[in-house]
Chains A and B, each alone.
Chain A
Amino acid sequence: MGLLAFFRRSPATANIAKERLRIIVSQERSARGGPDYLPLLRRELLEVIRKYVNVDPEAIQINLEREEGQEVLELSVQLPEKKAV
């Protein structure tokens, strides 16, 4: 490490990487082994919701949970904050 580099450190981005991976990996794991229609379902739901509210693609989460022999499809949509008109 040279003199310059000693004073100019790169930003600490490892935590950002970890957080992004934590989310995407758990999302991909929950879709894995689940029915193939989940991604399409997600897209179509997004389109329907967008007819009424302008939500972000990231704002819609679909999770398939298996517990005690039954499957629960959990859908959560984060609505945008109301803007003052």
Chain B
Amino acid sequence: MAEIIVTTSGKGGVGKTTTSASIASGIARRGKKVAVIDFDIGLRNLDLIMGCERRVVYDFVNVIQGESTLKQALIKDKRIETLFVLAASQTRDKDALSLEGVRKVLDELIADGFDYIICDSPAGIEKGAHLAMYFADRAIVVVNPEVSSVRDSDRILGLLASKTQRAEKDESKVKEHLLLTRYSPKRVAAGEMMSVDDVKEILGIEVIGVIPESPDVLAASNAGTPVILNAESDVSLAYEDAVARLLGETVPLRFLEEPKKGFFARMFGG
């Protein structure tokens, strides 16, 4: 049975698209058939992070409006056999997405044998965000250990519990997972940044991953490679752990401590 997972946050710039790209790639790399959909109508971004921006011919809205088939619009990833991207439309018409249109596309993906559908939500709580979460079975709530991000995430948790199909039909609720990004163990140790436990305590949901702050994220987006595919990076390992947990494995959290440095490195920078 296919699972629909929304990546959401409320606040912008916290790492939703980076997360969608890496989680989708990580699951697909394990042989599952995965589609990742950009719901940010008007502001297409996922294609850049996935590195397929020049291969977009048809988009999500084209499919909904019957201007192309789903098959024509799905972009097959060049690195991972079982990974497909559906790009956002750049139309300025915010009403181009409709609940019924989205439902039709998701149903078709499920009928085509996709195992996982990752919905990359736009920031905010407007229509695009609502549609991205509406059909979700699970939600990855991306949060930075910072006051406005945490508060916005709590708003999103409220919406997941009330404005989704599962909530409206009184089915079992959308399963919520917390993913912390831009985590700096050094600043946490210095008392300058809230810890994983602090954020977990405030929001009261289970943590699926902690992604350390790293220049590798920008490097990966510059190159159009999902950061999880950069095997050298702690970020990649942290996302891989999150993928494992998402698929039901028990993996301890890591990268919560600052790597130990020698005396000279501490005194003279590095």
Contact = CB atoms under 8 A, between A and B. Distances in A.
Given A3-B267, A25-B202, A32 B158 contact: yes
Chain A interface SS verdict (over half) = helix
Contact of B269 (A2, A12, A28, A29): A2
Interface string B185-226: 000101111110010011100000000000000000000000
Interface stretch (A13-21, A43-51, A53-61): A13-21
B169 interface: no
Residue of A12, A18, A28, A29 most packed against chain B (CB within 10 A):
A18
B190 A9 contact: yes
Contacts of A3: 267-268
B266 A6 contact: yes
A25 B203 CA distance: 8
Interface stretch (B49-57, B104-112, B148-156): B148-156
A3 B266 CA distance: 8
Nearest to A12: B191
Nearest to A5: B269
Nearest to B266: A1
Contacts of B150: 21, 25
A29 B192 CA distance: 26
A10 interface: yes
B147 A20 contact: yes
Contact of A22 (B191, B202, B269): B202
B190 to A, nearest CB: 6
Given A14-B198, A20-B147, 6 more contacts: A11-B192, A12-B190, A14-B188, A14-B191, A24-B151, A25-B203
18 contacts: A1-B270, A6-B266, A12-B190, A12-B191, A14-B188, A14-B191, A14-B193, A15-B191, A17-B147, A17-B198, A18-B201, A18-B202, A21-B147, A25-B151, A25-B203, A29-B158, A32-B158, A33-B162
